[in-house]
Structure 1
Amino acid sequence: MTRWGILATGQIAGRFAEDLRLVPGAELVAVGSRTRESAELFAARHGVPRAYASWADLATDPDLDVIYVATPHAAHHEAAMTCLAGDKAVLVEKPCTLDLATSSELVETALARGRFLMEAMWMRCNPLILRVVELIADGAIGEVTHVRADFGLAGPFPPEHRMRARTLGGGALLDLGVYPVSLAHLLLGVPQHVHAWAKLSPEGVDENTGLVLGWDSGAVATLSCGMIGATAITASITGTTGRIDLPEPFYRPGAAVLHRPGAEPETVPADLAGGGYQHEAVEVQRCLAAGLIESPLVPHAASLEVMALLDDIRARIGVAYA
């Protein structure tokens, strides 16, 4: 049995708690928040035996194997470091932190303590996304030449919302754009060429962002993210001999559609049980059972490479966090 704790009590924490019920061998035994009231309300709602009024108390619970950090991303570094200081394995929500320096510190700390650390980029654990990666590796669409993906929400977000708060790592890029960027990285690796433009909000965060990434192989990615208009939230992966389309939401699609010349479109269905968070929990438990301190599906290097790319893009569009 793997004994889980959840740090934070927001919407994503609740969804993770529900999906954890679908994971064989998983037991949610504790929740921690900065206030006792919030922790106890969450515990009552999700049937969690223990509620802690501080992150440190959760991190030092001797009955826990792993803690899922579900705070807004501006608090990821502090929360995950607290858990590592308590010698706990950590699954930290994406993006890992606000920048490469603090993400690197997390990884270095986990390695030094010999503790498991994984970024909760659930798309990289999704069985259908993994199947798409297999199809491409097997040559189903030839060499990848273009990745297109978008993630835009309609909003409007009020000025006090975290999405517009520069001190909280607001803006579309880290909250939404991390998905298109991660998809392109998953399929093509680190780009050699980066172009970016964004419209900034009065608070200094990106409201609408466009990206063109290029690889020396000749492949390109055209990506966008925003919080001032609802986009299709779809993706297409084009190769020299075919194309794979991922419908909304592309990071957790209900199917993938394979298009090849001279053939009818082939639909590859997904199992949509639960909300999709269970797959990352399964991967964490698999790694812990095998004695691993990083996941081969979401390796430290991938998290750091994506974080470095996000840093590069933010510099190009003029978004700096306090």
Structure 2
Amino acid sequence: MTTTMTFPEPEVEALRGGPRLRWGVIGPGEIANDFTTTLHAHSDQRVVAVGSRSPERAAAFAARHGVPAAHGSYEALVADPTVDVVYIASPHPQHLEHALLAVAAGKHVLVEKPMTTSAADTRALAAAARAAGVLAMEAMWTRYLPGTTVLARLLADGVLGDVRLATVDVGWPHRPDPADRMFDPVAGGGALLDAGVYGHWFARFATGAPVTSSTTGTVSDRGVDLQSVTVSTATGSAQAVVSTSMTAWTPGLAVVAGSRATVRYTDHFVFPASFALHHGADAHVWEERSGLRGRAGLVWQAAALARYVSDGRTESPVHSLDDAIGVAAALDAARAALDGGAGRPDGASPSVPERDTSTP
């Protein structure tokens, strides 16, 4: 039976009327296009410069979005005095290099997830940002969505009781193509770094940091993870099951089950989404009412970062650098468990036949 209850208000930063930053973009690809589109359409944040190794790509991006400055190098972008914060939207193996470049120039950074391709590199980036006194934040944008902030408050207030189990799946199919970076280990390919980062973050968010984990999955003949399932246990015995795939589509209907109540998403949890809270036979629905859909939801993390900078913070209070390191460590463990080099920090991988693997 569906009933009504009073849910907490979303704890999101106002998209207009708050602190405003001038953004520079490194890597004018698809995600940067969506990021810039929603910033300009739904917030006071403004992209004022873009940098690319290709002056033509930078110029085309600038013209498309009305961005004043287009730079033909990353060095010129981070040196631009009109830029307050740099959004790192290059392929993940380049995140560390580009973020360190911006940090060295004294710029704040929002780094697309995964922050880097290993826990060691994420630690290096965190140390550099802390030493420079600039804000560095992983672009775990799902954490800043209205519904996620409501769920965070329900968890903090004990509405679900003791969390016992979280299940989450993220899968988007990719047609096998040797030219696609998703199938290239050197380019940071594989399902875990691309989609699995969401699932492993959600498991940590819902149950806490994993103490033990076990991963089984399928690896390509180039050593790239195609699909995996990770079962982890956190302090207090809460367990999580994370399924990730780039060979099949999954609905992303995450569940957090507690001793008093259970939350079940009714839309894909990665995007602005609604969910139901079940308590026995009663179901209470929290509806996503912002009107923003899909990647338009990228805007909330930018507004949050602007507030953090205004408040003098150098880390996100809801997804800290230690949280980013923890997610990277979980991905390291899952990739390493799949063997074949998929978990190696250098991205190297021997050629191995496609196979199923199971590692305790």
- TM-score, normalised by the number of residues in structure 2: 0.87
Gaps of 5+ in 1: none
The 5 A counterparts of 1:118-197 are: 118-197=137-216
Aligned to 1:268: 286
SS in 1 for 2:174: coil
Aligned to 1:242: 261
Question: Distance between the aligned counterparts of 1:158 and 1:24, measured in 2?
Answer: 37
Tell me if the contact between 1:23 and 1:282 (Cα under 8 Å) persists in the aligned partners: no
**Runs of 4+ off more than 3 Å:** 22-25
Question: Distance between the aligned counterparts of 1:262 and 1:306, measured in 2?
Answer: 35
- TM-score, normalised by the number of residues in structure 1: 0.96
Gaps of 5+ in 2: 1-19, 349-360
Distance 1:44 1:151, change over 3 A: same
Question: Distance between the aligned counterparts of 2:308 and 2:119, measured in 1?
Answer: 24
Identity %: 35
How big is the shift at 1:189?
1.7
Q: 1:302 aligns with which of 305, 319, 323?
A: 323
Tell me if the contact between 1:104 and 1:304 (Cα under 8 Å) persists in the aligned partners: yes
Distance 1:297 1:23, change over 3 A: farther
- Coordinate RMSD, CA, aligned: 1.3
The 5 A counterparts of 1:18-29 are: 18-22=37-41, 24-29=43-48
Aligned to 1:313: 334
SS in 1 for 2:210: coil
For 1:77-129, what per-residue CA distance to the aligned partner results, in whole angstroms no more than 9, with x for missing partners? 11111111211110000000010111111111111111110000001111210
Question: Distance between the aligned counterparts of 1:42 and 1:205, measured in 2?
Answer: 31
Aligned to 2:81: 62
SS in 2 for 1:233: coil
Question: Distance between the aligned counterparts of 1:23 and 1:117, measured in 2?
Answer: 23
How big is the shift at 1:216?
4.0
SS in 1 for 2:158: coil
Letter in 2 for 1:20: L
Question: Distance between the aligned counterparts of 2:291 and 2:301, measured in 1?
Answer: 14
Structure with greater contact order relative to length (CA < 8 Å, sep ≥ 6): 2
Q: Do structure 1's residue 223 and structure 2's residue 242 form an aligned pair?
A: yes
Tell me if the contact between 1:197 and 1:209 (Cα under 8 Å) persists in the aligned partners: yes
SS in 1 for 2:186: helix
